Structure 1
Amino acid sequence: MSNSLIQKYNVPGPRYTSYPTVPFWDSSTFSSEKWKTSIKQSFSENNGELSLYIHLPYCESLCTFCGCHKRITKRHELESPYIKTLLEEWKLYLFLFETTPKVKEIHLGGGTPTFFSAENLKQLIDGIFKYAEKADDYEFSFEGHPNNTTKEHLQTLYNLGFRRVSYGVQDYNLEIQQAIHRIQPFENVKKATDLAREIGYTSISHDLIFGLPFQKMEHVVDTINKTLLLMPERIAFYSYAHVPWVKGNGQRGFDENDIPKGDEKRTLYETGKKLLEELGYIEIGMDHFALKRDSLTMAMNEKELHRNFMGYTTQKTNMMIGLGASSISDSWYAFAQNVKNIEEYSQLVEEGIIPVFRGHVLDKEDLIIRKHILNLMCNLQTSWESSDSIFEDLPNVVTALSEFENDGLISICRDRLIVNEKGRPFVRNICMAFDMYLKKSKPENKLFSMTV
């Protein structure tokens, strides 16, 4: 890849797990009542089908690369009260539904979901389905820490319907692990992966990160070569998002000069991508790879890939309810985020209040642009051939996109935009051309990580 293109397009930009992105939500026009109305509308239109993201925020130690909302503690007696609150929050949503909900997707995220005991996780899932049904084509997944995911965790969740597990690996080099405060030898990852396979999990994912402090080419090559010994069905190969202005001291444990940047950082990704593709992995959207047999690859080939706050998914639901402190929900017509403080979250739920503190109600233009950005992030193309895909500023967007076309990153054919192979690394930048909020805003503070 041309270094000049990297220098040109490596600017701060969103990852587009939503549109509008969270910093540009208009909470002044948002209210709890509007949120409830949008939930009822979406539930009715989707015949009661929905996805659930459940945030389990506790971790025993702080990983300095992490951008999640978490609480560092070794007090496992906090598990049961938190699960009780999650189930009480679920009941608050159940009151809004006219019929029994059908759950297509569950993802347990964090934090560290495997901080919780297998017994408590079973209590959580059983509690969800006391008042809900599984959809016919459901898919349940969870994030596991290789150091503390036990056979009991895996077997219990498997018995409850889980078939996907994602393990955070990041990098196997000890110096890098010490810098990011995440010490886990290859043997631990292998044991957790092998256990999942023995039990019957059909899709195992490893999360890797490029651009970490002190990371060099040989570290990425070694990490991917070790990963390929285990051949997980999916690999997420994320760009390290250095946002210390958001996450405070958690990302200030090393000097800026210790972090690879620009063309050096992008070369780490391109090298990793080459190794993965040589072994049969297929690039999915942005930052993701999967084997040909995996459902994520099949969804991409059939143009059924979806993207939400959980990342890429095969389950296309227009409603995702987030349970837990800091969780984000999406009714398609509106977004809402729960309060981040665990004590405040628990207090609001105890008082019978859905614990959202901010959100955004999408207008007609938002919904049109949202579809364009989803198309680009999932299918690497979008079209404005139909009248319901046109918005007022579209001519100006197409004009702005001509620069990407001149650089060979995209092709524009009358009423269609296709991202070329050369343009894949810049898909976030291409989406930014459609982002009306980003264009109109001139933020004085840093909001996003670098795009390349």
Structure 2
Amino acid sequence: MASDLIQKYNVAGPRYTSYPTVPYWEEQDFNSEKWKSSIIRSFNESNSSEGISLYIHLPFCESLCTFCGCNKRITKNHGVEDPYIKSVLREWEMYSELLEEDPVVKEIHLGGGTPTFFSAENLKLLIDGIFKKAKRSSEAEMSFEGHPNNTTKEHLEILAALGFNRVSYGVQDYNPTVQKAIHRIQPFENVKRATLQARETGFSSVGHDIIFGLPFQTKEHIIHTIERTKELMPDRIAFYSYAHVPWIKGNGQRGFNEKDLPTAKEKREQYETGKQMLLDAGYVEIGMDHFALRTDSLYKAVEEKTIHRNFMGYTNSKTQAMIGLGVSAISDSWYGFAQNVKSVEEYQELVSKDILPVYRGHILTDEDLVIRKHILNLMCKLKTSWYTRKEFFKELPDVLIRLKEMQKDGLIEIDSNYLEITEKGRPFVRNICMAFDMRLQRNKPQTQLFSMTV
């Protein structure tokens, strides 16, 4: 990749798991009643045809990983498990009470935090409780984020028996110096054990998360990590850039200095090296920062043009409505977004009073809905079009003018009603989406809100 392109396009930008992005939500026009109406509308339109998705946030970790940007609570007190699960199930009951019939659940994802901080028995109580108020789709995709150091065979066996078929393990990097800097010490043997046990237990898709751009990380570390990864050949790989946003995440990302991080050019070399190794090993690049074997359901979703992207990332189980349960979880009705409060104590107190624990959100305008589709198309299919009037919005001509420079650089191809991202343009998909982001264009931030795009 030419270094001048990296220098030119390495700016702060969103990762577009939603549009509008969270900093541009019109929170002053949002309230709980509007949110409830939004979720009821979406449910009535889509439950019978495609069901809903659930994201459940389990925030507890026994130790702090300094690369992590998630909402977490560090504790070794496992007495927090039972009351938290009861709160999550009560929140689910409140959503169930809004709906005219039991929802059909097509997807569940357990995120964190560390979901396997919870005992296998408590995770069973959680999932059993969910399905007391829901039906399971025959195509249900159920997944969780596993920590290689504490995901036990019991966890895997019980979750598999409950219907879980996919797990992603956070690997990050196998170099001891990097692991020490990010406070995530996990030998290859632990990852190997967790991976093989998941396969033996019946999980059809095992994923590994690898991060480039970490403190003290070099291109040689990436080569070593991917060579070890190839020994296990996970079905999916998320190979993504470390998002250094300490101004948002506070002390959690202050375990090292900015000078310890690779430069933008070094990060791009790490990515290009790793990407080529993965392609040579038989993986296919999917969307942004994701790779999958041709036997994996995510690849099949690309082939069948059903791939979707939401707050959980890329998924092959598209649903119009996604309900987020637990502290800080974000819900998406398609017509609106809502985020839960971020404090465990406040979350549990609100739920105990039968108050839906959302504290901010956004109801999408007609323009938002059109732009959202374009950005989703670009993120998932690397192309979008405006053949019909419903795909057009007033400032689209201005968007195309903004994209002229990227077209000249060979990152995109444009004709009168169609845009496609080239192979050369793949690393800059976030920059291309930013040209469509009217809320960002109309109100450029005065301070840095997002991680760098390269």
**TM-score bracket for the superposition, by shorter chain length:** over 0.9
Give the counterpart of 2:209 among 196, 202, 207.
207
Q: CA deviation at 1:444?
A: 2.1
| Corresponding position of 2:257 | 255
Q: CA deviation at 1:253?
A: 1.4
CA contact (8 A) 2:235 2:293 kept: yes
Alpha-carbon distance in structure 1 between the residues aligned to 2:258 and 2:273: 23
CA offsets 1:176-231 (integer angstroms, 9 cap, x no match)? 00000000000000000010011111100000000000000110000000001000
Query: Which stretches of structure 1, 4 residues or more, deviate above 6 A after TM superposition?
Result: none
| Corresponding position of 2:71 | 69
| Corresponding position of 1:136 | 138
Equivalent AA in structure 2 for residue 417 of structure 1: L
Equivalent AA in structure 1 for residue 306 of structure 2: E
- For structure 1, the residue ranges without an aligned partner over 5 or more in a row are none
| Corresponding position of 1:321 | 323
Alpha-carbon distance in structure 2 between the residues aligned to 1:116 and 1:123: 11
Q: CA deviation at 1:442?
A: 2.8
SS at match of 1:14: coil
| Corresponding position of 2:296 | 294
Alpha-carbon distance in structure 2 between the residues aligned to 1:307 and 1:369: 15
Equivalent AA in structure 1 for residue 152 of structure 2: T
| Corresponding position of 1:35 | 35
CA contact (8 A) 2:156 2:201 kept: yes
Alpha-carbon distance in structure 2 between the residues aligned to 1:303 and 1:409: 22
Alpha-carbon distance in structure 2 between the residues aligned to 1:11 and 1:178: 29
| Corresponding position of 1:46 | 46
| Corresponding position of 1:167 | 169
SS at match of 1:162: coil
Residue 429 (structure 2) pairs with residue 424 (structure 1)? no
Alpha-carbon distance in structure 1 between the residues aligned to 2:55 and 2:257: 34
Equivalent AA in structure 1 for residue 334 of structure 2: W
SS at match of 2:174: coil
CA offsets 1:346-371 (integer angstroms, 9 cap, x no match)? 01111111100000000000000000
Give the counterpart of 1:359 among 361, 372, 384.
361
Q: CA deviation at 1:47?
A: 2.6
Q: What pairs up with 1:246-395 in 2 under 5 angstroms? A: 246-395=248-397
Alpha-carbon distance in structure 2 between the residues aligned to 1:442 and 1:390: 23
The count of residues paired between Structure 1 and Structure 2 equals 452
Give the counterpart of 1:145 among 147, 156, 160.
147
CA contact (8 A) 2:386 2:418 kept: yes
Alpha-carbon distance in structure 2 between the residues aligned to 1:188 and 1:290: 22
Q: CA deviation at 1:341?
A: 0.3
Alpha-carbon distance in structure 1 between the residues aligned to 2:82 and 2:140: 26
Alpha-carbon distance in structure 1 between the residues aligned to 2:374 and 2:102: 32
Give the counterpart of 1:157 among 148, 156, 159.
159
Alpha-carbon distance in structure 2 between the residues aligned to 1:416 and 1:261: 35
Residue 198 (structure 2) pairs with residue 196 (structure 1)? yes
Equivalent AA in structure 2 for residue 188 of structure 1: N
CA contact (8 A) 2:294 2:300 kept: yes
Alpha-carbon distance in structure 2 between the residues aligned to 1:444 and 1:395: 26
Q: CA deviation at 1:257?
A: 1.1
Alpha-carbon distance in structure 1 between the residues aligned to 2:307 and 2:117: 30
Alpha-carbon distance in structure 2 between the residues aligned to 1:66 and 1:422: 30
Give the counterpart of 2:445 among 438, 443, 446.
443
SS at match of 1:433: helix
CA contact (8 A) 2:106 2:141 kept: yes
CA offsets 1:247-292 (integer angstroms, 9 cap, x no match)? 1111111111110121111010000000000010000000000001
Alpha-carbon distance in structure 1 between the residues aligned to 2:126 and 2:263: 42
| Corresponding position of 1:126 | 128
- For structure 2, the residue ranges without an aligned partner over 5 or more in a row are none
| Corresponding position of 2:2 | 2
Equivalent AA in structure 1 for residue 73 of structure 2: R
Alpha-carbon distance in structure 2 between the residues aligned to 1:7 and 1:292: 34
| Corresponding position of 1:57 | 59
Alpha-carbon distance in structure 2 between the residues aligned to 1:70 and 1:176: 21
Equivalent AA in structure 2 for residue 343 of structure 1: E
| Corresponding position of 1:18 | 18
Give the counterpart of 1:183 among 173, 185, 191.
185
CA offsets 1:11-58 (integer angstroms, 9 cap, x no match)? 000000000000000011111000000011000000351000000000
Q: CA deviation at 1:334?
A: 0.2
RMSD: 0.6
Equivalent AA in structure 1 for residue 115 of structure 2: P
Q: CA deviation at 1:446?
A: 1.4
Alpha-carbon distance in structure 2 between the residues aligned to 1:394 and 1:441: 17
Q: TM-score, normalised by structure 1?
A: 0.99
| Corresponding position of 1:408 | 410
Q: CA deviation at 1:378?
A: 0.1
Alpha-carbon distance in structure 2 between the residues aligned to 1:202 and 1:442: 44
